């Protein structure tokens, strides 16, 4: 056991990674290509051009370049809040009485409160480089919308955020944060798009959904001059940007002679998990490492553990390209009693392929267990985690306790994706004892699977 590690493993500015790592370049079994929803042929750059920024499209389609340079204009922004702290969880180890060494990468110290800023900065920079003047996006819980608002303020771009109406009502402070950064917030569904109008005609009192907000944001982007759409997870260029998380961990670990045996990450659309594991998984794919990777998902939205590996749409309105992924079907909607985040129906295609090839394990956890772990962690390590992050905490603790049982001195790394400042209503629900666990029945899952396209 290494007890000489500093509590916080720092990197100097010179030591900070200057390139992202493209995990797909190291895979023998590449993820299946994205398909055009009309032709069912692999999507081309031209297909994607009306929607996304040029460099993001190039990165999305690039399966071979191992390392991609981070432009100076992005590195400069990263330096303002990175490296994110990599912390040795001495207090947690002591409290658990485990022989395991536990480390966590804390992505919540920037104002947006999560890792989402890593890709928001990149996408805003590229948009500016393309000569665009505005961007559109959607947000549910608000982490991604906050990150994009910050990035657009920094890179001087207008931003329209379609925020799920019911989320905006439940989280007025998230909305205020984005507006303070200068973003225009439109509650979705809205009258500003045809897709929004259609939904409102059918159901004037709907609280909206992420799927609808995506449709509105894309429609707005393609119908506005010098405007494109940005997405905060699921896509491979987002994972590329997020590889900065894992690269910082790897660089610091190498500096201190540390090799992780187990890496644990929360998995929604996969952007944090994919970024965290990138350099470690690339070594595993090259036979240089035997690291165990565990994806943790909510039992109420179990795309890995109970989903199907199939082509599916990214949005519930079924307008996006088709992605081969583990999915519950774009029509699947987790129970409204689920407060713990990670509500997305599918999973990034790269991670899906790795899971299919048994290079990643997955576990589903119920939300009272997640909040138990969150509060335990907050009291011991001092940081109040986002519910999303607490999925990884829960399983990291489980693994550390397993080490206690077996006496093994394993090294565990987990991703602490963000802070829970804007999730206090979920904590209030937990504190009051009103939080209930929920696992979808097989019948409920079948309803979701029925929404899968026939390809």
Binding residues vs a second copy (CB under 8 A): 6-8, 10, 12-13, 76-77, 79-81, 87, 90-91, 109-111, 113, 150, 153-154, 172-173, 176-177, 179-182, 375, 378-384, 419, 421-422, 424-425, 427-428, 431
Q: Which is nearer to a second copy, 41 or 425 (CB)?
A: 425
DSSP 403-422: HHHHT---EEEEEE-BB-GG
Residue 174 vs 363, nearer CB to a second copy: 174
Report in angstroms how near the CB of residue 103 gets to a second copy at its nearest: 13
Of 383, 341, 374, nearest to 84 (Cα)?
A: 383
Please give the angle made by the CA atoms of 229, 50 and 65, to the nearest 5 degrees: 80
* Nearest residue (CB) to a second copy, 181 versus 344: 181
Could you give the angle at the alpha carbon of 385 between the alpha carbons of 384 and 388, nearest 5°? 160
Q: Give whichever of 333 and 384 is closer to a second copy, judged by the CB atom.
A: 384
* Nearest-approach distance from CB 257 to a second copy, in angstroms: 16
CB of 10 to a second copy, least distance (A): 6
Write out the two tokens for 320: 């996006």
Q: What's the min distance (Å) between Cβ of 117 and a second copy?
A: 8
Label residue 318 exposed, middle or buried (CB < 10 Å: 0-12, 13-18, 19+): middle
Q: Check if the beta carbon of residue 86 is closer than 8 Å to that of residue 5.
A: no
Q: How far apart are CA 7 and CA 10, in angstroms?
A: 9
Length of the chain: 455
Distance CA 162, CA 189 (A): 8
φ and ψ at residue 151, rounded to 5 degrees: -65, -40
User: How many CA atoms are closer than 13 Å to the CA of 83, on its beta-carbon side?
Assistant: 25
Give me the least distance between CB of 343 and a second copy, in Å please: 21
Count Cβ atoms below 10 Å from residue 322 Cβ, excluding itself. 21
**Alpha helices (H) in 320-386, listed in sequence order:** 349-356, 367-381
How is residue 443 written in tokens?
């019948």
Q: Using an 8 Å Cβ cutoff, are 321 and 314 in contact?
A: yes
Smallest gap, in angstroms, from Cβ of residue 191 to a second copy? 22
- Which of residues 10 and 39 has its CB atom nearest to a second copy in the complex? 10
Q: How many angstroms separate the CA atoms of 407 and 145, rounded? A: 44
> Tokens at residue 393, please?
């905490």
The structure tokens listed for 304 are: 């890995």
**Least distance from C-beta 153 to a second copy, angstroms?**
4
Output 364 or 397, the one with its CB closest to a second copy. 397
CA pair distance 24, 161, nearest whole angstrom = 30
Q: Identify the bridge partners of residue 101 per DSSP, sorted by sequence position.
A: 411
Closer CB to a second copy, 79 or 288, in the complex? 79
Q: What are 275's two structure tokens?
A: 């970024």
Smallest gap from residue 395 Cβ to a second copy (A): 21
CB of 388 to a second copy, least distance (A): 16
Q: How far is the CB of 247 from a second copy (least distance, A)?
A: 18
Taking the CA atoms of the chain, what radius of gyration do you get in angstroms?
21
Comparing CB distances to a second copy, the nearer of 106 and 345 is 106
Nearer to a second copy (CB atom), residue 26 or residue 91 = 91
In the DSSP assignment, the letter for residue 53 is -
Cis peptide before 83 (omega within 30 of 0): yes
Question: 77, 121 in Cβ contact below 8 A?
Answer: yes
How near is the Cβ of 245 to a second copy at its closest, in Å? Answer: 17
Nearest to 163 by CA among 367, 177, 372: 177
Residue 321's alpha-carbon distances to 170, 171, 212, 318, 368, in angstroms, are 31, 31, 16, 8, 35
The nearest distance, CB 203 to a second copy, in angstroms, is 29
């Amino acid at each position: 056991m290494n007890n000489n590690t500093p509590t916080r493993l720092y990197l100097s500015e010179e030591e900070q990674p200057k390139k992202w790592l493209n995990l797909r370049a190291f895979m023998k079994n590449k993820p299946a290509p994205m398909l055009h929803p009309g032709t069912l042929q692999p999507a081309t750059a031209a297909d994607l051009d009306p929607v996304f920024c040029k460099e993001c499209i190039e990165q999305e389609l690039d399966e071979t370049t191992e390392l991609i340079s981070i432009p100076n204009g992005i590195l400069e922004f990263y330096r303002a809040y990175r490296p994110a702290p990599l912390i040795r969880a001495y207090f947690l180890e002591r409290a658990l009485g485990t022989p395991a060494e536990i480390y966590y990468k804390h992505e919540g110290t920037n104002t947006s409160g999560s890792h989402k800023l890593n890709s928001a900065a990149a996408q805003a920079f590229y948009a500016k480089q393309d000569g665009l003047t505005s961007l559109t996006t959607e947000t549910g819980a608000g982490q991604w919308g906050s990150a994009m608002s910050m990035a657009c303020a920094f890179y001087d771009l207008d931003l329209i955020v379609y925020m799920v109406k019911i989320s905006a009502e439940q989280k007025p402070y998230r909305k205020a944060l984005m507006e303070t950064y200068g973003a225009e917030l439109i509650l979705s569904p809205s009258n500003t798009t045809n897709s929004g109008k259609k939904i409102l005609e059918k159901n004037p009192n709907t609280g909206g959904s992420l799927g609808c907000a995506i449709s509105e944001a894309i429609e707005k982007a393609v119908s506005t001059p010098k405007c494109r759409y940005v997405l905060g997870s699921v896509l491979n260029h987002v994972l590329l940007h997020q590889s900065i998380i894992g690269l910082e961990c790897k660089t610091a670990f190498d500096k201190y002679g540390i090799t992780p045996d187990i890496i644990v990450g929360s998995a929604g659309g996969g952007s944090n998990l994919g970024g965290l594991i990138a350099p470690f998984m690339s070594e595993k794919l090259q036979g240089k490492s035997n690291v165990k990777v565990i994806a943790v998902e909510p039992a109420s939205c179990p795309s890995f553990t109970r989903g199907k590996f199939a082509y599916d749409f990214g949005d519930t309105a079924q307008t996006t390209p088709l992605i081969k992924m583990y999915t519950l079907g774009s029509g699947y909607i987790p129970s409204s009693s689920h407060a713990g985040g990670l509500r997305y129906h599918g999973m990034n295609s790269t991670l899906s392929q790795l899971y299919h090839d048994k290079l990643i394990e997955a576990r589903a956890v119920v939300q009272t267990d997640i909040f138990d772990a969150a509060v335990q962690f907050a009291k011991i390590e001092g940081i109040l985690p986002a519910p999303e992050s607490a999925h990884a905490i829960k399983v990291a603790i489980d693994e550390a306790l397993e080490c206690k049982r077996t006496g093994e001195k394993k090294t565990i790394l987990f991703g602490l994706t963000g802070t829970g400042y804007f999730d206090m209503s979920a904590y209030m629900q937990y504190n009051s004892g009103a939080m209930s666990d929920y696992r979808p029945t097989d019948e409920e899952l079948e309803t979701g699977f029925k929404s899968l396209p026939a390809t």
